[in-house]
Structure 1
Amino acid sequence: MTRTVTALLALSAGFALAQGAPSVEEIVTKANRAAHYQGRSGRAKVSMVIADAQGRQRTREFTILRLDLEPEADTGDTFTGDQKMYVYFDRPADVNKTAYLVHKHVGKDDDRWLYLPGLNLVKRIAASDKRTSFVGSDFFYEDVSGRNPDDDNHELAETTDTYYVLKNTPKDPKSVEFASYKIWVHKSSFIPVKVEYYDASGQKIREGQALEVQQIQDFPTVTKSSMKDLRSGSSTTISYTKVEYNIGLEEDLFTERYLRNPPRAKLR
């Protein structure tokens, strides 16, 4: 793990030592929440750098809006239910005004749409395409919105002084490009700080890592991360700035109307 991540997460490591070991289900739920459910809404400016095997770079700049839908009952800090997410691209010129919308569901496939301004076309992304490249990067569509924990079987592979290491195998192997993956989850914050994907032969094919973590509005937040495709040699780094939580977003922002007409006041 990087020094920046290790130094910040170590500040709270002592709290984990005083608690009993959680179950695998608890680790999975808390890691999912720490990665995708900080606050009930959020906004961030994002800079993405995509590098091919020869080191040639491309950039993407966009804004993410996220809203957690109200649960039927108040579940407090354990909420990991339905979400809506809106992504609006600013740069470069060839992706300007492109927008991506996700309606994330628990218990069924997510709904995803991509607006292509050059064609004035809203394209629905099939559930089978969720494991494909997100705007030409090494992150997949599913990496951006989060994989449903119910799609995998989970086991605790290892426990270190600092991390729970989970091995995860897909319930439907034909729907994904990997045979299994491991996640390193920080014991105290439950931030997933590393992920490794393996094929059926046991060869590592993709690797993701949290490079920087900051405390924002009392939430441990990954502000820089990377994903590497070990077969092609390409890699993508994402940096998050101007991160804010609990910003009072309205649900009607997350509709097809705003794919074509972006809510600019909320994107600043």
Structure 2
Amino acid sequence: MEIVTLPGQREGGKVWLVGAGPGDVELLTLKAYRILKSADVVLYDALVSEEIMSLVPFDAEKIAVGKRAGKHSANQDEINQLLVTKGCTRKNVVRLKGGDPFIFGRGGEELQSLVEAGLEFEVVPGITAASGTSSYAGIPLTHRDHAQGVTFITGHCQLGSRPMNWTNYANPNNTLVIYMGILNAGIISQGLIDAGRSAQTPVAIVSKATTSEQRRFIGNLGELEQLAADPELKMPALMIIGEVVQLADTLNWFTPETHSETPAVSYEL
């Protein structure tokens, strides 16, 4: 898509690509908090929590551009063009993404459009969903006795038409974290089992992680599709596959009650 700039309307604006973290408002970085408080316009994803959006100034323009599987949303070309348009006409433009914008967040694609348009930008990293989810679920992603490595992959709808080489991800000594995989749980499970991963490999699906609605659905790889179909599972949800999941009960510390006891954000920067 050709990015269209607006000649003569540039006012020295800047675009901030900001990671909102996995959900808990207190997992925002201090820099992200400061940038949000000074925003003139915020383009935000569906996975950004209401608590985080409440930090945006009341008079700032707020534009929902969320992308959610199975639901209508702005396509990526439209988002790229909107970023350029706002960047040409507004002073502080924030592109707010759940998790970290450079891990399955298409942040690189959006920045490429800004480079093409000659706009100034800055990136503020966020805690990615894998790190936040595993920490709040009591599941270390690596452990000397259980996993010597960890791999992040996406399991969205392209799996059906672009089959993955599951042999690359069937190493029993690695933890596998799958973003956007709920709709393809059956494909994922069968692919890994066919590639040699045991059907008894522990798995967890964590729903609405780091929030007061967090739920864990724990079983084994052979049950993954059944776990993903649980009617109580709400989006967003992340899959963690590997021996480290067996530590979930021992190391679990987070409860909705824990979250409700957390004081409201009141930083002054």
TM-score by length of 2: 0.27
Q: Which has the higher contact order (CA 8 A, sep 6+)?
A: 1
- Greater per-residue strand proportion: 1
- Greater per-residue helix proportion: 2
TM-score by length of 1: 0.27
